[in-house]
Chains A and B, each alone.
Chain A
């Protein structure tokens, strides 16, 4: 019998599920504490966050906290692992597309005129991070946005910390990016896959059981807003500098960690038609929903046979 709590966090929803109900109080306290720490380090929208201070000082070396240093390293590793498909240097592009404040305010705004900015792809390669001295140098004009990798990594670290501290099997979801740690319930952690993480648990969609690692879903139909050039969304294609316009609407990935899953699902959305082979080459387990609604899975996805029949 699992116990669940949920609350707003990072402009989305945090869900904490523990297998041992007695562990919930301690688990929730640990999660809240971690989320506060990460928000203070990584928020793009808090004037007092470390990330905002770092972005104001682009062009000069900046000493980082251990907290932010870990997230920047993970974001750069993600860029390397995907050859830049998941790019942490797209803060300016995201802002130009209209995502320049918390999403509640972006969604409430009555349209947006998309700004054209000078495109210089691959600038993440010019970001230098000394992990030992924790010194970061971001080229002038580049705005760092750890974005989704920060959310997924937080879910991983929180789930592992809670499971280690309480001994309970733990699931942490941050806006639909799910990490599990400790002993899973019999039959695994049941998860519903949907376009939006706010979908009803009773709603339609595929249900899978997760035993370890993480699961992330990236979608172009969530977090979108109206502009003078049509609806924009938050997944920027680093090759074009504007929201990805590939053939997939939603991609879910199960992997060794939520961070891995998030990196792969984001890269797949950006890649478009080449995503399936890219995922299979990396032995990543994924389910892809096309804009038409057609569903495909990688060869080992549990319902791949059913879908292709």
Chain B
């Protein structure tokens, strides 16, 4: 059972039209995928990871100046507690300074 060429022509044109539609669809899908990939890549690049690193670097910067003579108050570790003769604990003390006068007492182990 063979068909005449005149009978085959409509079938061939239908197949070719379908093939074209598949090619166009594939092209559109590839373009869309490429666009989405670019968009997500850009989004990821601008997202939290890079910012965190920058913040960490910024907070570490003062450690590079550890020897700078910062006069920071020392907060109380332990409250002296209540006592009939004692006023409330003193405010945080500043760092000591080098002495210019002869010492009046020795602080050492006992």
A contact set with B: CB distance below 8 Å: 2, 4, 12-13, 15, 17, 34, 66, 70, 73-74, 77-78, 81-82, 149, 151, 153, 156-157, 160-161, 164, 171, 173-178, 181, 185, 187-201, 205, 207-223, 250, 252, 254-257, 259-260, 263-264, 282-285, 299-305, 308
Contact status B71-A300, CB under 8 Å: yes
Q: Which residue of B lies closest to A305 (CB)?
A: B67
B contact set with A: CB distance below 8 Å: 66-87, 89-110
Contact A15-B80, Cβ < 8 Å, known A211-B94, A256-B75, A282-B75: no
Residues of A within 8 A of B96 (CB): 188, 208-211, 215, 254, 285, 301-302
A153 to B85 Cα, complex, angstroms: 13
Contact status B78-A285, CB under 8 Å: no
Q: Which residue of B lies closest to A255 (CB)?
A: B74
Contact status A191-B97, CB under 8 Å: no
Contact A190-B99, Cβ < 8 Å, known A178-B107, A215-B107, A218-B109: yes
Contact status B110-A304, CB under 8 Å: no
Q: List 27 A-B contacts (CB under 8 A).
A: A17-B105, A34-B85, A171-B105, A173-B107, A176-B108, A185-B101, A190-B101, A190-B104, A193-B106, A195-B109, A198-B110, A201-B103, A201-B105, A201-B106, A208-B97, A208-B98, A211-B93, A213-B90, A217-B109, A257-B76, A257-B78, A257-B89, A257-B93, A259-B80, A301-B96, A302-B97, A303-B98
Contact status A260-B74, CB under 8 Å: yes
Residues of B within 8 A of A304 (CB): 67, 69
Residues of B within 8 A of A207 (CB): 98-99, 103
Contact A283-B97, Cβ < 8 Å, known A175-B110, A304-B67: no
Residues of A within 8 A of B66 (CB): 299
Q: Which residue of B lies closest to A77 (CB)?
A: B78
Contact A208-B104, Cβ < 8 Å, known A73-B81, A255-B77: no
Residues of B within 8 A of A174 (CB): 110
A160 to B77 Cα, complex, angstroms: 18
Residues of B within 8 A of A263 (CB): 77-78
Number of A-B contacts (CB under 8 A): 227
Contact status A176-B75, CB under 8 Å: no
- The residue that B77 contacts in the complex, of A2, A81, A211, with Cβ under 8 A, is A81
Contact status A161-B85, CB under 8 Å: yes
Contact A264-B104, Cβ < 8 Å, known A197-B109, A209-B96: no
A194 to B100 Cα, complex, angstroms: 17
Nearest CB in chain B: distance from A78 CB, A: 5
Q: Which residue of A lies closest to B91 (CB)?
A: A256
Nearest CB in chain A: distance from B93 CB, A: 3
Contact status B106-A176, CB under 8 Å: yes
A201 to B99 Cα, complex, angstroms: 13
- The residue that B99 contacts in the complex, of A156, A188, A257, with Cβ under 8 A, is A188
A219 to B85 Cα, complex, angstroms: 30
- The residue that B106 contacts in the complex, of A185, A194, A284, A305, with Cβ under 8 A, is A194
Give 7 A-B pairs besides A160-B85, A190-B101, A308-B67 with Cβ atoms closer than 8 angstroms: A66-B83, A81-B78, A160-B86, A173-B105, A188-B96, A217-B108, A283-B74
